[in-house]
Structure 1
Amino acid sequence: MPGEGNLGDVKFILRNGVKMPAVGLGTYRIRNSEVLYRTVDYALEAGYRLFDTAAVYQNELFLGYALRKLLPKHGLTREDVFITTKLAPADLGGHLAADAFRKSSDNIGLDYIDLYLIHFPGAANINAQNPKNAELRVETWKEFIKLYDQGKAKAIGVSNFTIRHLTELIEATDVVPMVNQIEWHPHYHQDDMLQFCESHNIRIQAYCSFGGLAVSNNTLMEESIVREIYGRYKATPAQVLLAWSLQRGVAVIPKSLTPHRIKSNIQINFRLSQEDLLRLDSLGKANMKYAWDPHCIA
């Protein structure tokens, strides 16, 4: 991590050399075309170049429309932005994955996707403990490898995978995911996962960077340690939490609909001290998880 400048301008280099912006805009639960259009407009103006969507978000079509209209407005081209989307659990499986990728690409209106992720290690409508889940994951990953080899996806990875799930994919195919997008914040961070991903050159990308804010739980944002730290740095609580992840080498995709928050979330012009990083680490003793848990998936 560079020592000077804005953390929001950093790019992480994936294992295949692809440069991925360290900060992107999440679009979870933005299912209104006009709202998403305005949000993308604000974000491009603020300097965002990575946009994260998924088939299950039901907004790929809206994002594609916004990009077609707004990239020229901001003097940008397709190559200037990094687009991530994800395969729905209902489409886990070889032939289903191929069809789902085509649908997502068509929805967004792109010739290629910058990063394509398996959204969850379990398949829809299959019991969590059913060993069929593991078979479908490997089948799907083999299809992802084909998409990558054909240049249709510039990078491929997974989301919500545990170390066991990652290990199974690697052992079955010898192809290591480039990204694992997981829940990651001071209340819930897995040091063993970070060590595993670093040793295999897998980039962790965090969601739920603000804890349970998406489900109206402000507990993390209101932690006394967070409040004390952001006051000293003259920053927002969100900026402190994002800086904590970025300084650990973890990419982030914060979501906001508010122009000034969208702007401040990518303008992180300070570095947390080692002491403050460790103090935020200590909040992990709470082990508070706010999103779906993949550990039960066979």
Structure 2
Amino acid sequence: MKMAKVDLAAIAYVSERMPIIGVGTYQVQAQSVLHETIDEAFKLGYRFIDTAQIYRNEAVLGRILPGLLKKHSLKREDIFITSKVSPANQGKGKTSKSVVKSLQDLSTPYIDLVLIHWPGTSRLKSNHKDNAKFRAETYAELEQLMDQGKIRSIGVSNYEINHLEALLAECRILPAVNQCECHPHFRNSEVAEYCKQKGIHFQAYSSLGGPDYVEDLLKDSTISKIAKVHSTSSAVILLAWGLNQGYSVLPRTHTVNRIGENWKAREITLNEKEMTDIGSIKKIKKACWDPSVVV
């Protein structure tokens, strides 16, 4: 594949500014819950919030962040915010309009990182050829928004290798991040390695297995055994497994005490045998949607 000459500005911004662990907000819409969890997160030292247009909580975040920043003596530039373009907002004209709305809802002059949430477009079948057309148009508009300073870096989410290859052949600004499902039961190693080779940061979501699969991972015998050795929880080991590979992680929770527990993952160093044991778990289970079916 011939790779286009690309601007590395987005990658530089992310490498300098993006923390390795953030607060995921998927399925968290209640203002009281968001306020309580982010308040605790800022108190502990978190400086990274992950949201998306499809999460329908950007406006709530926009209402609570000014007060929380003031409470914790922080400025806007002290925190890193990621949002994502909804599949319904892909395509020429739609993308820019949706990002401007995200800026308004978040009450911020800029967003640190904006991703294409999904390689497919709403109302198109997964095998429809226009999926490629719309995601190309969306990325081109993100490049323009970055030129305008409305967003500081850009990237993608749920992109498979074929999606990335097509993007790298035509993009002007190299994507800084590919955010994908990743946990010991779905290691996504080929995509992670491809991103590493191309200088794209691999970011893990659903590190604990996703809303409907958490218990399977937390009760995995290999994970539980390693957690006992480190006198910590299986959840912390799952997050540490990602961090120890150089991935950033985005655990989400509705519970304040889990915010502190997740933060401990930064302190865990897994040895070579532990990493090998986790990487040898035979059970394979994808907890979330499958982007490989999108052409």
Q: TM-score range by the shorter chain?
A: over 0.9
Letter in 1 for 2:134: L
Letter in 2 for 1:162: E
Q: What residue is the counterpart of 1:227 in the other structure? A: 224
Structure 1: 5+ residue stretches without partners: 1-12
Equivalent residue in structure 2 for 1:15, among 1, 8, 11: 11
TM-score by length of 1: 0.92
Query: How many Å separate the matches in 2 of 1:241 and 1:215?
Result: 16
What aligned pairs does 1:1-298 form with structure 2 within 5 A after superposition? 15-18=11-14, 19-212=17-210, 214-215=211-212, 217-268=214-265, 269-283=267-281, 285-298=282-295
SS in 2 for 1:220: helix
With 249-258 and 259-268 compared, the bigger mean Cα shift is at 259-268
Contact 1:14/1:20 (<8 A) preserved: no
Q: What residue is the counterpart of 2:4 in the other structure? A: none
SS in 1 for 2:33: helix
Deviation at 1:14, TM superposition (A): 6.6
RMSD of the alignment, in Å?
Answer: 1.3
Q: What residue is the counterpart of 1:4 in the other structure? A: none
Structure 2: 5+ residue stretches without partners: 1-8
SS in 2 for 1:94: coil
Deviation at 1:259, TM superposition (A): 2.0
Query: How many Å separate the matches in 2 of 1:32 and 1:270?
Result: 32
Contact 1:121/1:133 (<8 A) preserved: yes
SS in 2 for 1:165: helix
Query: How many Å separate the matches in 1 of 2:272 and 2:214?
Result: 27
SS in 2 for 1:21: coil
Q: Which runs of 4+ in 1 moved over 6 A?
A: none
Query: How many Å separate the matches in 1 of 2:214 and 2:198?
Result: 34
Deviation at 1:15, TM superposition (A): 2.3
Q: How many residues align?
A: 284
Deviation at 1:186, TM superposition (A): 0.5
Letter in 2 for 1:106: Q
